[in-house]
Amino acid sequence: MRERVTPLLSEAQIQVRVQELGAQLTRDYAGKELVVIGLLNGVFPFFADLVRAMDMDLDISFMQVASYGGGTESTGEVHILKDLDRSIQGFHALVVEDIVDTGLTLFKVGNLLKDREPLSLKICTLLDKPSRRKVQVPVDYVGFTIEDHFVVGYGLDFDGKLRNLPYVGVYHP
């Protein structure tokens, strides 16, 4: 399968940008009670690198959501497979996602989390693909804006595979 992947963002490019985002988040959330929420599964490498790049006290939690099934297109349906295991009421919440594509996942997750009364709710994504939006969602922190390609690597997958690539590449079925 790796032979079907053309590199888009190198491991070095990703790491530089993650450090920049971590520094910005550290400044923006200085002195605030922050819960960083990772949306599994694809976010795990970015999430781990990002929270390590944040020089501050923070709490972490995870949600697992699914919208792709086994293909290269979002199904349009968003399923919560694992919910948060802690309250975010009275805390600042930062949702970390691997990629924002149609916006449907973050729209549903954002509405669910807003009902839980955090002091603030912001979104950070490694990759933003605004040309594919079906629902507008505010994305506050963006690693990279990309064109409409199906991408894999650094946590992103095709049918559960290729998540372990250390870079982001375009997958050619």
Residue 41 to residue 119: CA distance in whole angstroms: 26
Q: Which helix (H) or strand (E) holds 38?
A: strand 34-40
Is the per-residue pLDDT at 120 higher than 90? Answer: yes
Domains along the sequence of the chain with CATH: 2-171 (3.40.50.2020)
**Confidence check: pLDDT of 76 > 90:** no
Instruction: Supply the pLDDT for residue 31.
Output: 97
Q: Is the predicted pLDDT of residue 65 greater than 90, yes or no?
A: no
Q: Which residue is it, tokens 């923006």? A: 28
In single-letter form, the type of residue at position 9 comes to L
**Is residue 74's pLDDT more than 60?**
no
Residue 55: which pLDDT band, with cuts at 50, 70 and 90? Answer: very high
Q: What is the pLDDT of residue 68?
A: 57
Query: Which residues sit opposite 92 in a β-bridge?
Result: 34, 120
109, 102, 133: which is closest to 123 by C-alpha?
A: 109
Q: What would the mean pLDDT of 147-172 be, rounded to a whole number?
A: 96
Please indicate whether residue 140 is annotated as part of the active site: no
Of the candidates 133, 171, 127, which has an alpha carbon nearest to the alpha carbon of residue 149? 171
The DSSP output letter for 82 is E
CA 151 vs CA 18, 47, 87: distances in Å: 18, 17, 33
Task: Answer yes or no: is pLDDT of 72 > 60.
Answer: no
Is the pLDDT assigned to residue 130 strictly greater than 60? yes
Mean of all residue pLDDT scores within the chain: 94
pTM reported for the whole predicted model: 0.93
Q: Which of 101, 115, 148, 159 is catalytic?
A: 101
Q: Give the pLDDT score at 103.
A: 94
